Structure 1
């Protein structure tokens, strides 16, 4: 089977959620002996030097890059506002990418073109024009739902009003364009149910993020006192928003009760002015060389998301390692785990403190959470199972 994977970011190296999800699909396709070609976007926000890609990866994927200037521009935003177009999407339209895509489609007869994320869907008509391939949209999340939640958490004012308009435009575009593909590979069952509730009529299958079950190993916390940690890509607004809320609303309640507790914040692209003020016992460590080892070395993971959609891959990674996790209902969304069985859910400052009490006052409960999390990941995020499901989905679409 010949597959063209169109990526709005480079799937390699898999350093954050989006690229990790795309890389997982790449690995599935290669392991299933598909003939694969990757065409990826490079932007200033997420730029990968093509020379840094290993030769064997280049050979297996024939990866190529096209630079697109997606920087926010007042003129572009105003034009889209007046024309009632989604500025989120318009920023990814590029003549250079169009030409490279045409060239790629003319060189091979693909069976499947998989579009990674909503942002590359403006090229659907071009794909239809130059290829007979079936088009699968890999929906990493519900984009307009993310922005609806961000808008809700924005203070009343001109920015909130503008975000409401952007969200409405994005929702209209997202739901309309989904009707033009041949299939949708959603990343969570929650997203699939939502798409169906909105009247999407094309075939939809849940293809979640998978891991090698052998990599799921319980790492029992051995060092006490146990400290807290967070690791996330901080150029994604929901991560930054959630952590700032946690520091402002939750941390001092925790500090008052546990004054010896430390909180380590790691991640890529942490803004120079984050956090907005100093908080006792909070350490911003920035980007770490090995995210997996950082999680193993630290204690309880905090994921205080207030907005977002899809699935939090860093939570999957942490559960795979047996880490106790405290997150919000939004953070847990898309992961069919159970409160006080596989992880802990807290949506208010007092609930976060209560969940911390649950872990620290009876450490065995904390260890049980971690052990259960590992078993959950082995059962529900087995890569081979997900790979078979994806290939079956492709075959169904090809028979249409």
Structure 2
């Protein structure tokens, strides 16, 4: 098949969940012999030059990069809030130049499937309808309004008011685009059910983000055990909120109980205010690490204290593939299908986080069981090529 993936961010380097979800499927399609093109917005925030994309990545797909500013600023958000009913998150990605590039690409090429990676490229469906007879697929990476609805619950004051307003705008925007596509590909079963409740009537196929077992190889050679760690984008509000909550509500008790236990935090683009919150005994801020998998392999207990967000947490999938014992919240575990105390550990409040950390530190059998079962679970449920093959089969059965 000839497939066009459309995304609002260059999916390389693969340093966040969205990029990983897009690129893993690109590789899966290519390795199965399909012809893949990726048309992507090259934003100011995540700008990449073509020279920065290695040949090994260019070998799997043709990349078409279009410069789209998608600026984020307080004045722009304020003007949008007062004079527009549309969500600021969405209007930043509605760009005339990108629309022209898409139209030109469709004039010059014929595709079997055009896969829209996320909500914010769905406004370009009318252009695709005019220019192409391809099957249009909406690949929903998460329920966008839910991210901000949950963030509002964690906030207070003017921030809470703004986030509540934003989540309602995004929900209206999300509902307005329902069924404009031909096929729906949610990333989790839960997201598929929520989209059906919002009005989806199109055929759907759940396609979780797969992992490449040849890349994610567990290695305990340099393991520091016991040790705690967190890795993720530190510019993403749910990660920021979760880490601040953990440090404020759990760390003092943990440090008192285990004075030599270290908590390593890795991730890119941490704002200064957040870095300042990491200035606590035995909390070690690593910043952006050169090799994320090497970093994960070198630490033992992974903490993912998430209380907002939506979709699937790719870093949890990767951590499980590397045999980590992971403690997260019910929201963090959403959509993965894990079993508490079998292949992952679930904690709902500060007391449970402290208790579960203590159990993993002191009970070697429990610690090893969680990590071992995590690997088996991921290898069985999240093979990338298998996921891509099932998706292609769905496309062939339901394409125009």
TM-score relative to the length of structure 1: 0.95
1:195-274 to 2 correspondence within 5 Å?
A: 195-214=195-214, 217-219=217-219, 225-274=225-274
Q: Gapped runs of 5+ residues in structure 2?
A: none
Following TM superposition, by how much is the alpha carbon of 1:347 offset from its aligned partner in structure 2, in angstroms? 1.6
Could you tell me which residue of structure 2 aligns to residue 312 of structure 1? 313
Task: Indicate if the aligned counterparts of 2:216 and 2:321 stay in contact, CA closer than 8 A.
Answer: yes
Alpha-carbon distance in 2 for matches of 1:143, 1:132 = 28
1:272-291 to 2 correspondence within 5 Å?
A: 272-277=272-277, 278-291=279-292
Alpha-carbon distance in 2 for matches of 1:367, 1:58 = 39
1:273-352 to 2 correspondence within 5 Å?
A: 273-277=273-277, 278-352=279-353
Following TM superposition, by how much is the alpha carbon of 1:176 offset from its aligned partner in structure 2, in angstroms? 2.1
Q: Deviations over 1:249-272 (max 9, x none)?
A: 111121121111110000111212
Task: Indicate if the aligned counterparts of 2:216 and 2:293 stay in contact, CA closer than 8 A.
Answer: no
Could you tell me which residue of structure 1 aligns to residue 83 of structure 2? 82
Number of equivalenced pairs: 398
Task: Indicate if the aligned counterparts of 1:216 and 1:377 stay in contact, CA closer than 8 A.
Answer: no
Task: Indicate if the aligned counterparts of 1:215 and 1:320 stay in contact, CA closer than 8 A.
Answer: no
Distance 1:255 1:5, change over 3 A: same
Distance 1:387 1:225, change over 3 A: closer
Could you tell me which residue of structure 1 aligns to residue 380 of structure 2? 379
Following TM superposition, by how much is the alpha carbon of 1:49 offset from its aligned partner in structure 2, in angstroms? 1.8
Task: Indicate if the aligned counterparts of 1:216 and 1:378 stay in contact, CA closer than 8 A.
Answer: no
Alpha-carbon distance in 2 for matches of 1:54, 1:72 = 28
Is 1:92 the counterpart of 2:96? The answer is no
Following TM superposition, by how much is the alpha carbon of 1:218 offset from its aligned partner in structure 2, in angstroms? 4.9
Following TM superposition, by how much is the alpha carbon of 1:241 offset from its aligned partner in structure 2, in angstroms? 1.3
Q: Gapped runs of 5+ residues in structure 1?
A: none
The answer to which of 389-398 and 334-343 deviates more is 389-398
Alpha-carbon distance in 2 for matches of 1:269, 1:79 = 25
Q: Deviations over 1:110-168 (max 9, x none)?
A: 1111111111111111111111111111111111100100011011x222112111110
Could you tell me which residue of structure 1 aligns to residue 146 of structure 2? 145
Task: Indicate if the aligned counterparts of 1:220 and 1:367 stay in contact, CA closer than 8 A.
Answer: no
Alpha-carbon distance in 2 for matches of 1:378, 1:191 = 22
- Is the partner of 2:370 in helix, strand or coil? helix
1:149-188 to 2 correspondence within 5 Å?
A: 149-155=150-156, 157-188=157-188
Could you tell me which residue of structure 2 aligns to residue 104 of structure 1? 105
The answer to which of 101-110 and 270-279 deviates more is 270-279
Q: Deviations over 1:288-332 (max 9, x none)?
A: 111001011111001011111111111111100111001111111
RMSD (CA atoms): 1.7
Task: Indicate if the aligned counterparts of 2:136 and 2:183 stay in contact, CA closer than 8 A.
Answer: yes
The answer to which of 385-394 and 309-318 deviates more is 385-394
Could you tell me which residue of structure 2 aligns to residue 39 of structure 1? 39
Alpha-carbon distance in 2 for matches of 1:338, 1:96 = 47
Task: Indicate if the aligned counterparts of 1:305 and 1:327 stay in contact, CA closer than 8 A.
Answer: yes
Task: Indicate if the aligned counterparts of 1:253 and 1:349 stay in contact, CA closer than 8 A.
Answer: no
- Is the partner of 2:309 in helix, strand or coil? coil
The answer to which of 231-240 and 219-228 deviates more is 219-228
Task: Indicate if the aligned counterparts of 1:221 and 1:367 stay in contact, CA closer than 8 A.
Answer: no
Distance 1:60 1:261, change over 3 A: closer
- Is the partner of 1:141 in helix, strand or coil? coil
Task: Indicate if the aligned counterparts of 1:137 and 1:183 stay in contact, CA closer than 8 A.
Answer: yes
Task: Indicate if the aligned counterparts of 1:218 and 1:371 stay in contact, CA closer than 8 A.
Answer: no
Could you tell me which residue of structure 1 aligns to residue 120 of structure 2? 119
Following TM superposition, by how much is the alpha carbon of 1:243 offset from its aligned partner in structure 2, in angstroms? 0.9
Q: Deviations over 1:64-90 (max 9, x none)?
A: 211211223424642454331121111
